[in-house]
A and B are shown apart, each in its own frame.
Chain A
Amino acid sequence: MITISPTLLTGCVALLCGWVVVGLAGLLRPGSLRFAGRTLFPLGALLGLALALLAGASLLGGGTERLILPVGLPDLPMHLRLDPLSSLFLLLLGASSFGISVFAGGYFRQGEGALPGLLCLQYHLFLASMGAVLLADDAYGFLVAWEVMALSSYFLVTTQHRIPEIRRAGFLYLLMAHVGAICLLLCFGVLQGGSWLFTFDAMRAAHLSPGWAAAAFLLALLGFGAKAGLVPVHVWLPEAHPAAPSPVSALMSGVMLKTAVYGMLRVGLDLLGRPVWWWGLAPLILGLLTIFYGVLFAAVQTDMKRLLAYSSIENIGIVFTGIGLTIVFEGSGLETVAALALLATLYHCLNHSFMKSLLFLGTGSVLHATGERNLGRLGGLIHRMPWVAWLTLIGTLAIAGLPPLNGFVSEWLLLQSFLFADHLPHAFVNLLIPMGMALVVLGAALAGYVMVKFYGVIFLGQPREASLAHAHDCGWLERIGLLWLALGCVALGLFPLQVIRALGAVTGQLIGAAVPQASSHWWLLAPVPGRPVSYGPLVFLTATLAVVFLTVLAVRLTYHQRVRRAPAWDCAFGGLTPRMQDTAEGFGQPIRHLFQSFFEIERELPAPADRTPRYRIAIRERIWRLAYEPLSNAVERLANAAARVQQGRISVYLLYGFVTLIVLLAVALMS
Chain B
Amino acid sequence: MRALDWITQVLEVVAALAAAPVFLGWLNQCRAWLQNRRAPSLWLPYRSLHKLFHKEAVIADNASSLFRIAPYVVFGAMVLAAGIIPSMGTRLPLVVAADAIALVGLFAAARVFMSLAAMDVGTAFGTLGARREMMVGFLAEPALLMVIFVASLISSSTALPAITENLASGRIGLSPGLAFSAVAFVLVLLAENARIPVDNPATHLELTMIHEAMVLEYSARHLALMEWAAQLKLFNYVCIGFALFLPWGVARAHIGPVGLLVAIPALAVKLAAAGAGLALIETVSAKMRVMRIPEFLATAFLFAVLGLLVHVLLGA
B87 at the interface (CB under 8 A from A): no
B202 at the interface (CB under 8 A from A): no
B174 at the interface (CB under 8 A from A): no
A380 at the interface (CB under 8 A from B): yes
A559 touches B58 (CB 8 A): no
B10 at the interface (CB under 8 A from A): no
B120 at the interface (CB under 8 A from A): yes
If A460-B64, A533-B157 touch, whether A551 touches B134 (CB-CB below 8 Å) is: no
A534 touches B159 (CB 8 A): yes
Please report which residues of chain B, range 146-197, place their CB below 8 angstroms from some CB of chain A when the two chains form the complex: 146, 149, 152-153, 156-159, 162
Please give the distance in Å from A232's CB to the nearest CB on chain B.
Answer: 24
B225 touches A568 (CB 8 A): no
**Residues of B contacting A461 in the complex (Cβ-Cβ under 8 angstroms):** 119-122, 126-127
A360 at the interface (CB under 8 A from B): no
Tell me the bound Cα distance from A580 to B123 in angstroms. 7
B272 at the interface (CB under 8 A from A): no
Produce 1/0 per residue, A15-45, CB < 8 A to B.
0000000000000000000000000000000
A431 touches B122 (CB 8 A): no
Of the candidates A434, A543, A581, the one whose C-beta lies within 8 Å of that of B305 is: A434
If A401-B105, A438-B301 touch, whether A448 touches B122 (CB-CB below 8 Å) is: no
Produce 1/0 per residue, A530-541, CB < 8 A to B.
011111110110
Closest B residue, CB atoms, query A401 = B105
**Residues of B contacting A566 in the complex (Cβ-Cβ under 8 angstroms):** 58-61
Which of B60, B134, B216 is the most central at the interface, judged by chain A CB atoms within 10 Å of its CB?
B134
Of the candidates B66, B124, B162, the one whose C-beta lies within 8 Å of that of A460 is: B66
B282 at the interface (CB under 8 A from A): no
If A431-B309, A442-B138, A461-B121 touch, whether A586 touches B159 (CB-CB below 8 Å) is: no
Closest A residue, CB atoms, query B159 = A532
B105 touches A402 (CB 8 A): yes
B66 touches A382 (CB 8 A): yes
**Residues of A contacting B96 in the complex (Cβ-Cβ under 8 angstroms):** 524, 534, 536, 539
Please report which residues of chain B, range 285-307, place their CB below 8 angstroms from some CB of chain A when the two chains form the complex: 291, 294, 301, 304-305
Produce 1/0 per residue, B97-132, CB < 8 A to A.
111011001101101100110011111101110111
Please report which residues of chain A, range 435-473, place their CB below 8 angstroms from some CB of chain B when the two chains form the complex: 435, 437-438, 441-442, 444-446, 448-449, 451-453, 455-457, 460-462
Tell me the bound Cα distance from A127 to B158 in angstroms. 42
**Residues of B contacting A537 in the complex (Cβ-Cβ under 8 angstroms):** 97
**Residues of A contacting B111 in the complex (Cβ-Cβ under 8 angstroms):** 448
A582 at the interface (CB under 8 A from B): yes
B102 touches A460 (CB 8 A): no
Which of A532, A565, A576 is the most central at the interface, judged by chain B CB atoms within 10 Å of its CB?
A532
Produce 1/0 per residue, A589-603, CB < 8 A to B.
111011000000000
Produce 1/0 per residue, A555-596, CB < 8 A to B.
100111011111111100000101011100011011101100
**Residues of A contacting B109 in the complex (Cβ-Cβ under 8 angstroms):** 397, 402-403
Which of B75, B139, B156 is the most central at the interface, judged by chain A CB atoms within 10 Å of its CB?
B156
Tell me the bound Cα distance from A548 to B132 in angstroms. 27
Tell me the bound Cα distance from A63 to B5 in angstroms. 45
B261 at the interface (CB under 8 A from A): no
A564 touches B56 (CB 8 A): yes
Produce 1/0 per residue, B15-41, CB < 8 A to A.
000000000000000000000000000
Tell me the bound Cα distance from A408 to B83 in angstroms. 20
B131 touches A568 (CB 8 A): no
Of the candidates B59, B80, B134, B146, the one whose C-beta lies within 8 Å of that of A452 is: B134
B75 touches A568 (CB 8 A): no
**Residues of A contacting B80 in the complex (Cβ-Cβ under 8 angstroms):** 540, 543-544, 547
**Residues of A contacting B128 in the complex (Cβ-Cβ under 8 angstroms):** 582
B59 touches A555 (CB 8 A): no
Tell me the bound Cα distance from A419 to B153 in angstroms. 7
If A441-B146, A460-B64, A539-B96 touch, whether A449 touches B135 (CB-CB below 8 Å) is: yes
A422 at the interface (CB under 8 A from B): yes
**Residues of A contacting B301 in the complex (Cβ-Cβ under 8 angstroms):** 438, 442
Closest B residue, CB atoms, query A590 = B135
A564 touches B59 (CB 8 A): yes
Please give the distance in Å from A359's CB to the nearest CB on chain B.
Answer: 15
- Closest 8 pairs between A and B when the two form their complex, measured CB to CB: A461-B122, A539-B97, A462-B122, A456-B119, A582-B127, A568-B60, A547-B76, A441-B142
Q: Which residues of chain B have a CB within 8 Å of any CB of chain A?
A: 53-54, 56-62, 64, 66, 72-73, 75-77, 79-80, 83, 94, 96-99, 101-102, 105-106, 108-109, 111-112, 115-116, 119-124, 126-128, 130-132, 134-135, 137-139, 141-142, 145-146, 149, 152-153, 156-159, 162, 216-217, 221, 225, 291, 294, 301, 304-305, 308-309, 312-313
Q: Which residues of chain A have a CB within 8 Å of any CB of chain B?
A: 379-380, 382-383, 393, 397, 400-403, 408, 412, 415-416, 419, 422, 430-431, 433-435, 437-438, 441-442, 444-446, 448-449, 451-453, 455-457, 460-462, 524, 531-537, 539-540, 543-545, 547-548, 551-552, 555, 558-560, 562-570, 576, 578, 580-582, 586-587, 589-591, 593-594
16 pairs of residues in contact across A and B, judged by CB atoms under 8 Å: A403-B106, A437-B149, A452-B112, A452-B119, A456-B119, A461-B127, A524-B96, A532-B159, A534-B99, A539-B97, A566-B61, A568-B61, A576-B123, A581-B127, A587-B127, A589-B131
Known: A524-B96, A534-B99, A547-B75. 19 other contacts (CB 8 A): A380-B62, A412-B105, A433-B312, A434-B309, A445-B138, A445-B141, A446-B138, A453-B134, A460-B66, A544-B80, A547-B76, A547-B79, A551-B72, A559-B53, A562-B56, A565-B60, A576-B124, A581-B122, A582-B127
